Amino acid sequence: MRLAVDVSGGDNAPDAIVKGAIEALEHLQGDDTLLLVGPEDSITKILREHSIDDPRLSIEHAPEIIGMDESPVEAVRSKKNSSLVRMCNLASHKCENPIDAVISAGNTGACVSAATMLMRRLPGVHRPGIAITLPTFHGPVVVCDAGANPEPRSSHLLQYAIMAETFAANALNISNPRVAVLNIGSEEAKGTKIIRETRDLLKEAPGVNYIGYLEARDLFDGVADVVVTDGFVGNTVLKLAEGLARSLISNVFHAIMEIDPGMATQLEPLAKKLFSRNDYHEYGGAPLLGVNGVCMICHGSSESRTIANAIRTTSQYVREHVNESIVQRLAEVAPVVEPQLKALAASAAAADSAA
């Protein structure tokens, strides 16, 4: 297996990325290799600093850098020598021998654009979606989409359910994952038109363990394994959970520190454990489901251990043939929901022409 890592992406690049790749070496199996994509000089320098000379690591020189604030599509079109574009080109099926996966902690929008434009989509997929694994006290919950597609159609949301369910089953070993649609109430009439359409599609789709609507307050209660939502809401949920968990845990321990510093010292290992259980760094990365290849997107503030964890989960994703299962599941579902999707398209067209 050949995995490529974007050395220029993320707030702590390039050091944390190269260091993460070095830490990941112990997780590699058989003849797995890591390709470090970025400015050759910097990479060589960091490897030398850590006295690393390992045949499983190689370098692909990519001098250009895409900033965190750059317009995604523009950046991908104009910066052919950026690590992101170079990496996704190497993973494209236009290559004779494409690499197996790409991993980046860079500009998420640019990563989605580069992967979608250069690696293309899996057969049958309309729009790729990011599947983020949220840690909860009841185990992981996969939320899809977490930001690739802020205004999806119901046909996209149906595919997010099927792709994320396949990911949860194959890569996270959750058997028969319970799939829910995030909504602002549990009653059937609640929410937007797109949500009600998605519910109808999921009820029809064969082999989906659809359990109904889920309200955000129950997201952490272990009632669903896969939660489907649009990219705007999914991204908001992810960032809110991150911000609130950090704020709450640190405030609890600050309050204890004020009452009794000795007790706080005693509880320090617990605080660390709780932080790590609620910490996206532990999961490493979120797959961009639906691209023809494997693209793992990491948090912008990834540390070396985040990257090492992302490399580990990426190799698991490749090894378990998640994409092959996704293609198969989509092909099973497509003919069954086709009449419904056609009716939805026709009613949307009628509404447009009436307007």
Nearer to a second copy among residue 26 and residue 69 (C-beta): 69
Q: What is the distance of C-alpha 212 from the center of its chain? A: 23
Per-residue mark of binding to a second copy, 98-137 (x: CB under 8 A): -----------x--------------------------xx
Provide the minimum distance between the beta carbon of 276 and a second copy in the complex, in angstroms, as a whole number.
13
Q: Is the CB of 53 or the CB of 187 nearer to a second copy?
A: 187
On the CB side of 196, CA atoms within 13 Å amount to 8
Out of 95, 248, 331, 350, name the contact with a second copy by CB under 8 A.
Answer: 248
Sign of the four-CA dihedral 202, 204, 209, 211: positive
Return all residues near 110 (Cβ < 8 A) that are at least 6 apart.
66, 70, 72, 75, 76, 84
CA 185 to chain centre: 26
Alpha-carbon span 259 to 215, nearest angstrom: 36
CA distances from 90 to 1, 3, 340 (A): 14, 10, 38
For residue 291, what are the β-bridge partners?
Answer: 121
Our finding on whether 345 is near a second copy (CB under 8 A) is no
Nearer to a second copy, 78 or 137 (CB): 137
Task: State CA 328 to chain mean position distance.
Answer: 21
Contact with a second copy (CB under 8 A) among 47, 168, 180, 241: 241
Which of 5, 46, 245, 295 binds a second copy (CB under 8 A)? It is: 245
Closer residue to a second copy (CB): 170 or 306: 306
Residue 350 in contact with a second copy, rule: CB under 8 A = no
The residue ranges that bind a second copy (CB under 8 A) are 69, 71, 109, 136-137, 147, 150-151, 182, 184-185, 187, 189, 191-192, 215-221, 231-233, 235-245, 247-249, 251-252, 255-256, 259-260, 263, 266-267, 270, 273-274, 278, 352-353, 355
